[in-house]
Chains A and B, each alone.
Chain A
Amino acid sequence: MATALPLDLARPRRTGAAGILLLLALAYGLVPLLGTGYLFEAILTPFLALALAGLGLNLLTGYAGLLSLGSAAFMAVGAYAAFNLSLRLPGLPLPATILLAGLVAAAVGAVAGLPALRLRGFYLAVSTLAVQFFVAWALNRIGWLSNDSPSGIVAAPRLEVAGLSFDDARGRYLFSLTVVAVLTFLAWRLVRSPTGRNLVAIRDHETAARIVGVKVARTKLLAFALSSFIVGIAGVLWAFAYLRTVEPAGFNLDRSFQILFIVIIGGLGTLRGAFLGAGFIVVLPLVLSRLGAAALGDGFDSGTLEMVQRIVLGALIVAVLIREPAGLAALLDRALNHALRRVRPRS
């Protein structure tokens, strides 16, 4: 797991930059032109929210090596914070609401990270599990958080920035895309900064990190705060742009595990891994249901799909952990390097 390279200096930087620009051009140019409502609503918007959550968790688990099972709790904190901010401060522009919601999630994350100063690995994971259950309990018990809605389910506010409405399917996709692109850029800057190096240093050898002057306790709490900031904003996107309601059930333990699987399958300690893993998790059920329907016809109902999906996912995670601990990101890199080697000598 620790063999993932955060900065791959071996790969020419220009190729990477060109690839990202191409992806952005496709995402902003071609996809909105050609995409259907179904593509935006059922695939791309949840993909972006989950990828962002995976990105946030990867900072904590992949880079700093601190295992968390509380991602959905931080998503919930972000979503409910944004809901309350827009409800109680009606004049607040949406970007400010999202930023503040992220900061609330970061604060909760830093507190949740306190056990990390003493606990590691399995024990730390259990303490983050406590956060997961505590947040779910608080959202059910404290009515004020959901504006005293009896079910705890509340409608998300409309997506509007400076008079521009992003309320249709395409708009919500573009809104999510922009938030994800900005945060991914900042995360990229972060992992390349000395702080990013410190995160990996703590993961690889905590004692040596302390000796060279890394402030270990502060850096661990910072990792929790930064990770929760991003995961919290992913929660805002999940609720506001994808579900369009804010409800505790959307942020249960299953979601936490889903995000952890995204990071493991995609590749621990890489930014692109979160996107690859999220893409995989979103597309897998669709592929399975098509395959199942083709093979079994009407016998393949949603219950069977759910079950098959869990089995396939579980098997894949075991396979990834054994065969390719660095995840889809490493597979992609190898394929790209292979392709580049074929192209380069001739050019």
Chain B
Amino acid sequence: MSGLPHRAAPFGRPAPSRPLVPDAAAPRRRARASQDRILTVEGLSLGFGGAVAFAGIDLAVAAGEIHAIIGPNGAGKSSLINAISGLYAPQAGRVRIGEASFARVPAGRLAALGVARTFQNLALFKSLNVVENILSGLAGARRAGLAAHVLGLPAARREAAEHRTRAEAVIDLLQLGAFRARAAGSLPYGLQKRVELARALVAKPRLLLLDEPMAGMSAAEKAEMSGFILAARETFGTAIVLIEHDIGVVMRLSDTITVLDHGRRIATGTPTEIQANPAVIAAYLGADDEEDETEGEVKAA
């Protein structure tokens, strides 16, 4: 793939502002990846009735890596995230999270496995305030029992104080201080997205699944959110699987990109590799411009 000539970005966007990783770095990255891989998806397939959501998907995410999943609408990106987080039951394949391997990931154990996620459509606890929403991200980390909390026993008070400190750290990181006591449902859309990220981050997950964290945002909001995602990786060393439609954002943020089209993985590689990949270009041209659809399919084939 690296043998392909480097082409101008086919996505109608400026070239990535981040310095491009030279090819020499790629082997080193892969070596590290195989040592501490956090997520491995092998041959995962999912269909609803007769419709195939995705089929035979392989994916590998290393600790601390930002791995974007891109593809046209209906490519199966969200379904893949939902299958990885146990909301959908795949018909074939396995998902390995850390050392544990599953045919169907138990959604209720996700937090204990060190996985957190956000949702494409907001999934906040809208009548709880911002602090409470973020604290609820620590539900899986709770050790003191109900009686200890109701009676205010020392163990419960220590735990509450510790959780409060952790929540405040995330509030500082994502600059949510001014909205602490606001009900989450009363906040504007962009802030709700940020609170959801905060709720996912507070548990310091090893793996964070972000399903379109910037959908519907302005350019300025996207830049801000990109900064928060990078800061989150920096601070907690979290590996991030990111679904995002804005290719400019994806190129700037990602270490690795996987491209899905019609439920199939058509490419995986560094941003540079993906930009140069003919199958990807075909899929995107085909999906972006309906008149060119047949032409795109011919190229992809």
A-to-B contact residues, CB < 8 Å? 2-7, 9-10, 186, 189-190, 193-195, 197-198, 200-201, 203-205, 207-216, 222, 269
Nearest A residue to B117, CB-CB: A211
A204 near B107: Cβ-Cβ < 8 Å: no
For residue B132, CB closer than 8 A to chain A, the reply is: yes
A198 near B150: Cβ-Cβ < 8 Å: no
Query: Which of A7, A200, A222 contacts B146 (CB under 8 A)?
Result: A222
B139 near A200: Cβ-Cβ < 8 Å: no
B139 near A194: Cβ-Cβ < 8 Å: yes
Complex Cα–Cα for A146 and B138 (A):
48
Complex Cα–Cα for A241 and B156 (A):
36
Query: Which of B111, B119, B124 contacts A213 (CB under 8 A)?
Result: B111
Q: Can you list 25 A-B pairs with a CB-CB distance of less than 8 A?
A: A2-B126, A3-B127, A5-B127, A5-B129, A7-B129, A7-B132, A9-B129, A189-B151, A193-B149, A193-B156, A194-B142, A194-B149, A197-B128, A197-B135, A197-B136, A200-B128, A200-B132, A209-B139, A210-B108, A212-B139, A213-B108, A213-B141, A214-B139, A215-B108, A269-B127
Query: Which of B108, B117, B124, B151 contacts A204 (CB under 8 A)?
Result: B124
Interface string of B132-161 (1 = CB under 8 A from A): 100111111110001001111000100010
A198 near B127: Cβ-Cβ < 8 Å: no
For residue B185, CB closer than 8 A to chain A, the reply is: yes
Contacts of A200 in B (CB 8 A): 125, 127-128, 132
B126 near A204: Cβ-Cβ < 8 Å: yes
For residue B116, CB closer than 8 A to chain A, the reply is: yes
B181 near A207: Cβ-Cβ < 8 Å: no
What distance in Å separates the Cβ of B262 from its nearest Cβ neighbour in chain A? 27
A208-B149 CB under 8 A given contacts A213-B111, A215-B108: no
B-to-A contact residues, CB < 8 Å? 85, 87, 107-108, 110-112, 116-117, 119, 123-129, 131-132, 135-142, 146, 149-152, 156, 160, 163, 180-181, 183, 185, 199, 203
Complex Cα–Cα for A127 and B15 (A):
61
Contacts of A198 in B (CB 8 A): 136, 139
A204 near B181: Cβ-Cβ < 8 Å: no
Query: Which of A2, A212, A213, A216 contacts B127 (CB under 8 A)?
Result: A2
**A-B pairs, 3 with minimum CB distance:** A213-B140, A213-B111, A193-B149
Complex Cα–Cα for A210 and B125 (A):
12
A212-B199 CB under 8 A given contacts A5-B127, A201-B125, A205-B124: yes
A212 near B183: Cβ-Cβ < 8 Å: no
Query: Which of A194, A208, A215 contacts B125 (CB under 8 A)?
Result: A208
B150 near A213: Cβ-Cβ < 8 Å: no
What distance in Å separates the Cβ of A236 from its nearest Cβ neighbour in chain B? 21
B128 near A204: Cβ-Cβ < 8 Å: yes
B110 near A201: Cβ-Cβ < 8 Å: no
Contacts of B124 in A (CB 8 A): 204-205, 208
B127 near A6: Cβ-Cβ < 8 Å: yes
Nearest A residue to B146, CB-CB: A195
B107 near A210: Cβ-Cβ < 8 Å: yes
Complex Cα–Cα for A212 and B115 (A):
9
Please name 14 further chain A to chain B contacts, defined as beta carbons within 8 Å, in addition to the given A5-B129, A197-B139, A203-B127, sorted by A numbering: A2-B126, A3-B185, A4-B127, A186-B150, A194-B138, A194-B139, A197-B132, A198-B139, A200-B132, A205-B123, A212-B136, A213-B112, A213-B140, A216-B108
A212 near B116: Cβ-Cβ < 8 Å: yes
What distance in Å separates the Cβ of A16 from its nearest Cβ neighbour in chain B? 14
Complex Cα–Cα for A98 and B203 (A):
41
Contacts of B142 in A (CB 8 A): 194, 213
Which of A195, A203, A210, A212: most chain B CB closer than 10 A?
A: A212
What distance in Å separates the Cβ of A65 from its nearest Cβ neighbour in chain B? 10
Complex Cα–Cα for A201 and B128 (A):
8
What distance in Å separates the Cβ of B267 from its nearest Cβ neighbour in chain A? 29
Contacts of A215 in B (CB 8 A): 108
B149 near A10: Cβ-Cβ < 8 Å: no
Complex Cα–Cα for A215 and B112 (A):
11
Complex Cα–Cα for A190 and B146 (A):
8
Complex Cα–Cα for A73 and B85 (A):
40
A201 near B136: Cβ-Cβ < 8 Å: yes
What distance in Å separates the Cβ of B168 from its nearest Cβ neighbour in chain A? 14
Complex Cα–Cα for A9 and B182 (A):
8
What distance in Å separates the Cβ of B171 from its nearest Cβ neighbour in chain A? 14
Complex Cα–Cα for A213 and B107 (A):
9
B127 near A193: Cβ-Cβ < 8 Å: no
Complex Cα–Cα for A211 and B115 (A):
9
What distance in Å separates the Cβ of A253 from its nearest Cβ neighbour in chain B? 30
What distance in Å separates the Cβ of A262 from its nearest Cβ neighbour in chain B? 20
A189-B107 CB under 8 A given contacts A194-B142, A200-B125, A212-B137: no
Complex Cα–Cα for A203 and B116 (A):
20
B141 near A204: Cβ-Cβ < 8 Å: no
Nearest A residue to B107, CB-CB: A210
Nearest A residue to B144, CB-CB: A194
Contacts of A189 in B (CB 8 A): 149-152
What distance in Å separates the Cβ of B134 from its nearest Cβ neighbour in chain A? 10
What distance in Å separates the Cβ of B123 from its nearest Cβ neighbour in chain A? 4
What distance in Å separates the Cβ of B139 from its nearest Cβ neighbour in chain A? 4
What distance in Å separates the Cβ of A3 from its nearest Cβ neighbour in chain B? 6
Nearest A residue to B113, CB-CB: A213
Which of B128, B140, B141: most chain A CB closer than 10 A?
A: B128
Nearest B residue to A192, CB-CB: B149
B107 near A211: Cβ-Cβ < 8 Å: yes
